[in-house]
A and B are shown apart, each in its own frame.
Chain A
Amino acid sequence: MTDKPDKLRNNRIYYLEALVPVLAFGSTLSGIALWEAGILSEIQYAAAGSFLASCLLAYLAWYRPRKDIVSLTTPLYGFIFLVTPIDYYQGILLQLFYAAGLTTLVIRLHFRFGAGADDRSHGRKELAATPLRTYVESTRDVLAGLEPAGGRNASMAFLYFAEGEYRKAADVSHAGACHEGTPEPLVRAFGILRQHAELLEKNLPRPVTYQKFLPADAALMAKPLPAADQPDREFDTMMDNALLLLYSAAWHASEADRPILIASQPFANKLLEA
Chain B
Amino acid sequence: MKIGTIDVKVSNISIGVFVFFTLLLIIAAMMDTGIRPHLIWMIPSLFLLLVIPVALNYMSRSQYKDLEPTYEKEAKTVRVRLINESMIGKIVRIEGVVERVHFQFLNRPQYSVADRSGAISVKMFTTPPEDVKVKDIVEVYGQVIRRYMLTGEPVINCVIIRKIDRKP
Contacts and interface: CB of A to CB of B under 8 A. Distances in A.
Contacts of B8: none
Nearest to B154: A266
B74 to A, nearest CB: 12
A264 B150 CA distance: 17
A266 B85 contact: yes
Interface stretch (A13-21, A157-165, A251-259): A157-165
Contact of B76 (A66, A164, A270): A164
B36 interface: no
A162 B151 contact: no
Interface in A234-274: 236, 263-264, 266-267, 270, 274
Interface residues of B, number: 18
Contact of A163 (B79, B90, B116, B118): B90
B77 A203 contact: yes
A8 interface: no
A69 B82 CA distance: 28
B151 A67 contact: yes
A192 B84 CA distance: 20
Interface of A: 65-67, 69, 159, 161-164, 166, 200, 203, 232, 236, 263-264, 266-267, 270, 274
Interface of B: 76-79, 81-82, 84-87, 90, 92, 116-118, 148, 150-151
Closest 9 CB pairs of A and B: A267-B84, A162-B86, A203-B77, A67-B151, A163-B86, A67-B150, A164-B87, A266-B85, A164-B78
